[in-house]
Amino acid sequence: MECVYTGKTKDVYSLENGNYLLKFKDDVTGENGVFDPGANTVGLTIEGAGKAGLRLSKFLFEILRDKGVPTHYIDANIEEATMTVKPAKVFGNGLEVICRYRAVGSFLRRYGMYAKEEQPLDALVEFTLKDDSRQDPPITEDALVMLGILSSEEYKAIKDLTKKIAGIVKDELAKKGIELYDIKFEFGRVGKDKQIALIDEISGGNMRAYKDGKSIEPLLLEKLMLED
């Protein structure tokens, strides 16, 4: 296998059959040793975080597959902390799409003059550029279109898909008495028909989840979600 990309929380290897292997790490994003799914840097290493993120990703990707939602997921090997995925072409140099149900994190930092902490948001969708050097700046539909990153039709398709997937994840968490505050996705084009599909992962490191008013870190979220 050839390592083609080294990321903050995963490394990517190319396979001979044209698919890719994602190797999950124990690193999570944050700052000053505090977990933050919206951060642009690795803030801490939590032993077991890689496998926990993979278990939850596997669980949720397979639910999405059963519901006919397009993704790049093929299968996962928990012991080796790897996930096999279809090749995907990202939009531009990569976009992150956030669905927000409550005002926290960067949304509150930007709009704190108007927003109250944890106030309800009605599945608000935001697009940001994957650009660590510029701290993943938010970008509007008009700018995405004018810069040739997305067409208006692609923007709408991704926004609708984001709301659908976030709603499925939110419902799954609710079954365990857990509330989803926000979640971050990535999308790309997959297959010969270049279908827009969910890529990357769906783990505790990509969302803010709360139970009984307390934030749940990735390892605990995986345990609560997958315990019998």
Domain total in the chain? 2
Contact 130, 158 (CB under 8 A): no
pLDDT digits (tens, 9 = 90+) for 164-203: 999 999 999 999 999 999 999 999 999 999 999 999 999 9
Residues 84 and 109 in one domain: no
What pLDDT shows up at residue 42? 79
Q: Does 6 share its domain with 118?
A: no
Q: What pLDDT score does 80 carry?
A: 96
Give the pLDDT score at 220.
Answer: 94
pLDDT tens for residues 123-178? 999 999 999 899 999 999 999 999 999 999 999 999 999 999 999 999 999 999 99
Output the CA angle 154-19-170, nearest 5 degrees: 50
**pLDDT, tens digit (0-9, with 9 covering 90-100), for 45-96:** 888 889 999 999 999 999 999 999 999 999 999 999 999 999 999 999 999 9
Determine, yes or no, domain membership for 222. Answer: no
pLDDT band at 215 (very low <50, low <70, confident <90, very high): very high
The rounded distance, in Å, linking the Cα atoms of 8 and 182 is 20
Q: Supply the range of the domain harboring residue 29.
A: 2-88
Asked whether residue 183 is domain-assigned, the answer is yes
Examine residue 13 and state whether it is found in any structural domain, yes or no.
Answer: yes
Residue 100 β-bridge partners:
124, 182
pLDDT exceeds cutoff 90 at 31:
no
Among 28, 62, 88, the domain boundary falls at 88
| Predicted pLDDT at 46 | 82
User: Is the whole-model pTM more than 0.85?
Assistant: yes
Please report, for the domain that includes residue 64, its CATH number.
3.30.200.20
Q: What is the spatial distance between Cα 202 and Cα 59, in angstroms, rounded to a whole number?
A: 9
Residue 66's φ and ψ, nearest 5 degrees, are: -65, -25
Together in a domain, 62 and 97: no
Average pLDDT of the chain to the nearest whole number: 94
- The whole-angstrom separation of Cα 151 and Cα 142 is 9
Is 119 found in the same domain as 35? no
Note whether 75 and 150 are same-domain residues.
no
Residue 142: HSE in the Cβ half-sphere, 13 Å Cα cutoff: 0
Q: Are residues 149 and 69 in the same domain?
A: no
* Average confidence (pLDDT) over 11-33: 90
Bin 34: left if φ > 0, else alpha if -120 < ψ < 50, else beta. Answer: beta
